[in-house]
């Protein structure tokens, strides 16, 4: 009876299913990785962002959109205006009905135009249904992925490195655990099974700046790029923060001195 009542309350707060399914499930600590953008003085490493962008555009972009980032934003990675124009022009944008007076041309194909720097990254699929049809599940948009997961970049890194061929003992013996041969086991993914196969491997993308092309390095670089996609303001934010803090320190110290002076003769 007591259990029933508890369940009723849990259900009414909409907390039930997952709250109870998640408690007691085995999730290891996130893998250790560090980035230049962490900490008080942290800044993005532009070279790393460019490496990460290369991985995104050559690997991730085949399935994952990056809807909130525009080609013009790539200037933050050190690309020149002309380079950005070229990158954008490689993609075609479907024209909405009306721009060309019709949706399809005489050959029955969509009217398109090359993308320009002001356009957002062109998604790999026309819509969610097409993406699901090809992938079996919806590959999430990556624009905010490091902000939208507990653990942020550390989670995304651990996830990328967390695919396993063998299900570990701790999970195998868990109550309610069911093997799923159709999907991919990932120790960090809530529910363990993910539709995406492992993507990270050594030399998956060629680096031109001499950085070792290990799987760990690739994963670090792509996560740095994704963190930039989610928080492009980070460099500006932290550098402005330092100036503001310095100003406030001086101001507050002066206010304190003034307070001492004004109160000097008041016993309190």
In the range 159-188, which residues lie near another protein by CB under 8 A? Answer: none
- Out of 43, 112, 134, 147, name the contact with another protein by CB under 8 A: 147
Does 137 bind another protein (CB under 8 A)? Our answer is no
Please pick, from the candidates 95, 144, 167, 204, the single residue that binds another protein as defined by CB under 8 A. 144
> SS in 3 state form for the chain?
CHHHHHHHHHHHCCCHHHHHHHCCCCCCCCCCCCCCCCCCCCCCCHHHHHHHHHHHHHCHHHCCCCCCCEHHHHHHHCCCHHHHHHHHHCCEEECCCCCCCCCECCCCCECEEECCCCCECCCCCCCHHHHHHHHCCCCCCCCCCCCCCCCHHHHHHHHHHCECCCCCHHHHCCCCCCCCCCCEEECCCCCCEECCCCCCCCCCCCCCCCCCCCHHHHHHHHHHHHHHHHCCCHHHHHHHHHHHHHHHHHHHHHHHHHHHHHHCCCCC
* 264 lines the binding site for another protein (CB under 8 A): no
Among the listed ranges 107-115, 170-178, 216-224, 257-265, the one in contact with another protein (CB under 8 A) is 257-265
Q: Tokens representing 217? A: 């390095």
Among 108, 166, 182, 268, binds another protein (CB under 8 A): 268
Residue 34 contacts another protein per CB under 8 A? no
The reply to whether 246 sits near another protein by the rule CB under 8 A is: no
193 binds another protein (CB under 8 A): no
The reply to whether 12 sits near another protein by the rule CB under 8 A is: yes
From 59, 87, 95, 148, residue interacting with another protein (rule: CB under 8 A): 148
Please identify, among the stretches 15-23, 94-102, 109-117, 169-177, the one whose residues bind another protein according to the rule CB under 8 A: 15-23
- Which among 103, 190, 105, 115 is positioned nearest to 148, based on CA atoms? 190
Q: 21 or 201, CB closer to another protein? A: 21
Q: Should residue 78 be labelled a site residue for another protein when binding is judged by CB under 8 A?
A: no
Residues in contact with another protein by CB under 8 A are 2, 5-6, 8-10, 12-23, 40, 68, 73, 143-144, 147-150, 152, 190, 230, 232-233, 237-238, 240-241, 244-245, 248-249, 251-252, 255-256, 258-259, 262-263, 266-268
């Amino acid at each position: 009876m007591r259990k029933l009542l508890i369940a009723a309350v849990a259900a009414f707060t909409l907390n039930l299913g997952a709250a109870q399914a998640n408690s007691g499930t085995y999730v290891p600590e996130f893998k250790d990785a560090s980035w230049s953008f962490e900490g008080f003085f942290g800044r993005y490493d532009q070279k790393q962002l460019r490496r990460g962008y290369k991985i995104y555009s050559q690997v991730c972009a085949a399935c994952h959109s990056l809807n909130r980032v525009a080609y013009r934003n790539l200037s933050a990675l050190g690309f020149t205006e002309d380079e950005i124009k070229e990158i954008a022009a490689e993609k075609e944008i479907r024209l909405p009905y009306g721009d060309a007076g019709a949706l399809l041309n005489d050959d029955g194909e969509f009217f398109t135009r090359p993308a320009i720097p002001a356009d957002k990254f062109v998604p790999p699929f026309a819509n969610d249904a097409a993406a699901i049809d090809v992938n079996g599940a919806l590959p999430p948009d990556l624009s905010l992925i490091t902000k939208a997961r507990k653990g942020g970049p550390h989670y995304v890194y651990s996830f990328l490195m967390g695919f396993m061929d063998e299900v570990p003992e701790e999970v195998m013996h868990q109550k309610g655990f069911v093997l799923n041969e159709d999907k991919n086991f990932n120790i960090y993914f809530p529910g363990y099974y993910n539709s995406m196969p492992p993507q990270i491997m050594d030399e998956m993308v060629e680096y031109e700046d001499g950085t070792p092309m290990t799987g760990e390095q690739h994963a670090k670089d792509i996560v740095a790029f994704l963190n930039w996609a989610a928080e492009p303001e980070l460099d500006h934010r932290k550098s402005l923060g330092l100036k503001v803090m310095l100003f406030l320190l001086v101001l507050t110290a002066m206010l304190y001195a003034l307070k001492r002076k004004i109160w000097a003769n008041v016993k309190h």
